[in-house]
Amino acid sequence: MAEALAQFAKEQRPQSEPAQPRIAVLVPCFNEEAAVASVVADFRQALPAAEIYVYDNNSSDRTRAVALQAGAEVRSERRQGKGHVVRRMFADIEADIYVLVDGDATYDAASAPRMIGALMDDRLDMVVGLRVDRAEAAYRPGHRAGNRMLTRFLSTMFGQEFRDILSGYRVFSRRFVKTFPVLSDGFEIETELSVHALELALPVAEIETPYFARPEGSFSKLNTWRDGLRILGTILKLYRSEKPLRFFTIIACGLALLSIGLAFPVIVTYVEQGVVPRLPTAVLSMGLMILSVLSVSSGLVLDTVTRGRREMKLLAWLSQPAANRG
């Protein structure tokens, strides 16, 4: 009888509410004294339960003091570059959902709950804030053109499409953050995040968010040409490492065409006259064809290595629980 009463009491006991996910807002900053307080305040209002972390990257102004005064937890990363900061943040912070946003007050904090909702409802691993201008000065013309060019180039290279690969406003699941090997040092980190998701075919989405001009006194650290070339170089490096067979086959085709072009007149002369008058050209042509074959062979070997590395990344990703509402 006592056991029956105990069982009845257990069944009647109200079920505990599912634990709310821990949300961390990560704000990398370099000389953002004029904007960081607004960023902290806006995200505190949009996500009252979130922990807000500002990582100062050797700022020479009062960024650190202003962020502390605004109520954020402030930490430092001494190695200069956004990639170094993101690597440190992903390694140090423990949470279930991560919101990564620049500290320049150009992104809309009110969109964060909608992005988190999409991540959890659709069991995604990354949601990218697709920037929609709210001011003419939000985008410099060079940045806008560079972003479009690099986005199209990435889509061509990897066969899938992001509409804004350089957005600094993203929401991640824990399993994305804890299994993402950050290799970039600077602003090319956004490209690396996008390529990682594309290569592993991770569930991702883009959600339109307002994009505003920087507040007065805040200046962009992005150099259109220097950083654009670095991002383009990063795409090529990632293409070489993630799709080596295609990369080296393209090189092999170029070498083979050059070899054939050099060899054609030599062969014609030999057929017509029975002699090889341009021996150095024939030797060069043969050497280029050998290099072409070696290039394809290298691609085949590296493709096998890449497949094994991709399998390890997927196994590490699968070892982490998916984001959901419990």
- Between the ranges 65-74, 179-188, 221-230, 269-278, where is the mean pLDDT highest? 65-74
The reply to whether the predicted model has a pTM over 0.85 is no
Q: 154 or 88: whose pLDDT is higher? A: 88
DSSP letters, 264-289, are HHHHHHHHHHS--S-HHHHHHHHHHH
Q: Which contiguous run of DSSP H or E holds residue 54?
A: strand 51-56
186-238, pLDDT tens digit by residue?
Answer: 778 888 898 888 888 899 999 999 998 877 766 666 666 676 677 777 778 87
- How far apart, in whole angstroms, are the C-alpha atoms of residue 196 and residue 200? 6
pLDDT surpassing 50 at residue 8: no
Q: Distance of CA 225 to CAs 29, 157, 228, 254, Å?
A: 22, 21, 5, 28
Handedness of CA 317, 88, 187, 41 (dihedral sign): positive
Residues of the chain with pLDDT > 70, as a percent, come to 85
* Residue 242: band (very low, low, confident or very high) from pLDDT cuts 50, 70, 90: confident
pLDDT surpassing 90 at residue 267: no
Chain-wide mean pLDDT for the chain?
84
- Reported CATH class of domain 23-239: alpha beta
Average pLDDT of 65-82?
A: 94
Residue 24 backbone class (left: φ over 0; alpha: ψ -120 to 50; beta: rest): beta
With contact defined as beta carbons under 8 Å apart, do 196 and 86 qualify? no
Q: In the chain, where are the structural domains located? A: 23-239, 244-318
Average pLDDT of 91-106?
A: 94
* Residue 11: band (very low, low, confident or very high) from pLDDT cuts 50, 70, 90: very low
Residue positions counted in the chain: 326
pLDDT surpassing 60 at residue 10: no
Amino acid at 46: A
